[in-house]
Amino acid sequence: MPPFDPSHLAALLAPFRNVSRCWIAFSGGLDSSVLLSAAASIRERLPGTLQAVHLDHGLHPDSAAWAAHCQFRCAALAIPLTIRHLHLQPRPGESIEAVAREARYRAFSSLLGPDDLLLTAHHRDDQAETLLLALLRGSGVQGLAAMPFEMPCGPGRLVRPLLDATRETLAAYAETQGLDWLDDPSNRVTSLDRNYLRHRVLPVLHERWPALATTFTRSASHCAEAAHLTDRLAAQTLDGLGGAHFGTLDIPSLARIDRVLQKAVLRLWIRRRGFVVPDTRHLGRILDEVLTARADANPLIAWSGCEIRRYRRDLFALPPLPVPPSPASVINWSVGEETTSLELPSGLGRLEWHPVIKGDGVSGGKVAESGQKTLKVRFGLTGLSCRRPADSHTRSLKKLYQTLGIPVWWRPYIPLVFDGDTLIAIADVCHCRERDAGVEPMGELRWRGTFREESASLDAVTLSGKMPDPGFLPA
């Protein structure tokens, strides 16, 4: 195999256009040290500004020293370095390899902008290991496609420009360039599956089949083509299966298609929703337990980082819901003539109070004179009633939620806003009023936050409450 040449890296990245930044995923090991050095040598030919990112997994006592090494190497090459700490906390029975892999992807996804590339140093030998691992796990064509050259990563793209290089050629380049690199001792721990293949299995196979890495890469390419065709068919089918809520699937429509196609559609849908695709067992449970459940049932299928739930006809894919706030808890919130916000528990984001400006709202206006008022925020209370501004009668919260199609499992997380003992608003649902109040609005109440935006997946009515005094929430 020819020696590694950085100019080949420039040629591989040339087709990418309108790139703001080229990030190097820099662990400090041999492979990423080669990639960093090669990218630095051709930085003027890269499609974007060269930067690096180091992820500190916090799993080894020397991890801080490794981060310092990466900082030193990047400084020597005049490459800005960002260091992210992952703080991994695997649960009992979870694979530390899988937890670390998912944490890395989340960290990279949050780092990249829409015009960014992330370059990783995976090479041909890594590809062979990945294909073998997929075979041993019983993966389908998606898994057997192993690692693609290019794939989405958050709003940006992940690119693996070294997939045609071998570990041997990268090591030779590092020696000729006089590079120094870190040696993570965990890479020699053969109790980890990938290391066992690397040190115990692949050397034996390589003795018998020296071109193993090349042929494995070819097989992975064939599987990638098959996976692409499967995804195209699944995408065409998925376009007609949208549910009543944003990002959901219509269960009766999904149930009418062939089971094999159902699996392909579910895999693509879950992947597009940003979650790890489930294994065969969990996928089968979705088909056999969730799709066939009664419309009023509340089934749940969960795996790492994802929960599948249904409500009526709709199938939801969500991040794991946290423990809901206690119905006994009360949060006091003082609002008045200035914009204020209230951080909510359980990762539920925040409530924002925006006072209404009298006048034209653009110039010469002033905040409506309302004074301070203390509201109470509570969760999960039952036995309450509310009359929406457009309604002529009061309904129980249960009936109101049913009318508006709000899933049962989401209701305990919705902030209920009180003025004294009177319910005056259900955040992102509606305002409640006891009587018509023809007075000027005081402000707007909005519910924002990452957890709500990612987890609710509802066509929520933004609470832009025209808040009269004394009842506060709107008309």
pLDDT in tens, 251-289: 999 999 999 999 999 999 999 888 888 989 999 999 999
Q: Examine the pLDDT at 464 and tell me if it is beyond 60.
A: no
Contact of 33 with 22, CB cutoff 8 Å: no
Does a structural domain hold residue 463?
no
Statement to judge: residues 289 and 195 lie in one domain: no
59-81 burial code (b ≥16 CB/10 A, e <16): eeeebeebbebbbebbeebebeb
Mean pLDDT of 386-390: 83
Q: Tell me the pLDDT band of 177, cut-offs 50, 70 and 90.
A: very high
Q: What is residue 433's predicted lDDT score, i.e. its pLDDT?
A: 72
Does a structural domain hold residue 44?
yes
Does a structural domain hold residue 473?
no
Q: Examine the pLDDT at 467 and tell me if it is beyond 70.
A: no
Statement to judge: residues 353 and 296 lie in one domain: no
Q: Tell me the pLDDT band of 450, cut-offs 50, 70 and 90.
A: low
Q: What's the CATH number where 86 sits? A: 3.40.50.620
Which residues are registered as beta bridge partners of 419? 422
pTM value is: 0.73
Statement to judge: residues 45 and 193 lie in one domain: yes
Question: What's the token pair of residue 363?
Answer: 């110039």
- As a whole number of angstroms, the distance between CA 35 and CA 79 comes to 13
Three-class secondary structure of residue 446 per DSSP:
strand
376: number of Cβ within 10 Å: 17
Three-class secondary structure of residue 329 per DSSP:
coil
Question: What's the token pair of residue 401?
Answer: 């939620």
Q: What is residue 436's predicted lDDT score, i.e. its pLDDT?
A: 46
Helices (H), 202-329: 202-208, 212-238, 251-255, 259-272, 280-285
Does a structural domain hold residue 462?
no
Mean pLDDT of 161-184: 93
Length of the chain: 475
Statement to judge: residues 134 and 25 lie in one domain: yes
Domain region containing 266 = 240-318
Statement to judge: residues 63 and 172 lie in one domain: yes
Statement to judge: residues 44 and 83 lie in one domain: yes
Which carries the bigger pLDDT value, residue 67 or residue 95?
A: 67
Q: What is residue 442's predicted lDDT score, i.e. its pLDDT?
A: 60
Q: What is residue 318's predicted lDDT score, i.e. its pLDDT?
A: 92
Nearest CA to 465 among 380, 379, 386? 386
pLDDT tens-digit series, residues 225-236: 999 999 999 999
Q: What is residue 452's predicted lDDT score, i.e. its pLDDT?
A: 59
Q: Tell me the pLDDT band of 360, cut-offs 50, 70 and 90.
A: very low
Radius of gyration over every alpha carbon of the chain, rounded to an integer in angstroms: 27
Angstrom CA distances, 76 to 72, 235, 275, 452, stand at 6, 47, 38, 43
Statement to judge: residues 291 and 375 lie in one domain: no
Statement to judge: residues 354 and 296 lie in one domain: no
Statement to judge: residues 138 and 45 lie in one domain: yes
Instruction: Give the domain-ending residue among 252, 287, 318.
Output: 318
Angstrom CA distances, 32 to 16, 36, 66, 205, 371, stand at 21, 6, 13, 26, 60
Q: Tell me the pLDDT band of 435, cut-offs 50, 70 and 90.
A: very low
Q: What's the CATH number where 247 sits? A: 1.20.59.20
Q: Tell me whether strands 116-119 and 21-25 are parallel, antiparallel or unpaired.
A: parallel
Contact of 319 with 307, CB cutoff 8 Å: yes
Mean pLDDT of the chain: 85
Q: Tell me the pLDDT band of 188, cut-offs 50, 70 and 90.
A: confident
Does a structural domain hold residue 115?
yes
Question: Residues of the chain with pLDDT > 70: what percent?
Answer: 89
User: Under 8 Å CB-to-CB from 363, ≥6 apart: which residues?
Assistant: none
Q: Examine the pLDDT at 453 and tell me if it is beyond 60.
A: no
Does a structural domain hold residue 235?
no
Residue 86 backbone dihedrals phi, psi, to 5 degrees: -90, -30
Q: Examine the pLDDT at 358 and tell me if it is beyond 80.
A: no
Does a structural domain hold residue 324?
no
Q: Read off the amino acid at residue 261.
A: L
Angstrom CA distances, 474 to 164, 181, 336, 386, 441, stand at 63, 64, 15, 12, 7
Statement to judge: residues 104 and 248 lie in one domain: no
Which residues are registered as beta bridge partners of 375? 333
Question: What's the token pair of residue 11?
Answer: 């040629």
Mean pLDDT of 393-411: 90
Statement to judge: residues 74 and 194 lie in one domain: yes
Question: What's the token pair of residue 462?
Answer: 């933004």
- As a whole number of angstroms, the distance between CA 27 and CA 19 comes to 23
Q: Examine the pLDDT at 209 and tell me if it is beyond 50.
A: yes
Statement to judge: residues 422 and 385 lie in one domain: yes
Contact of 415 with 348, CB cutoff 8 Å: yes
Q: What is residue 370's predicted lDDT score, i.e. its pLDDT?
A: 52
Q: Tell me the pLDDT band of 357, cut-offs 50, 70 and 90.
A: low
Does a structural domain hold residue 11?
yes
Question: Residues of the chain with pLDDT > 90: what percent?
Answer: 55
Domain count within the chain: 3
- As a whole number of angstroms, the distance between CA 53 and CA 81 comes to 5
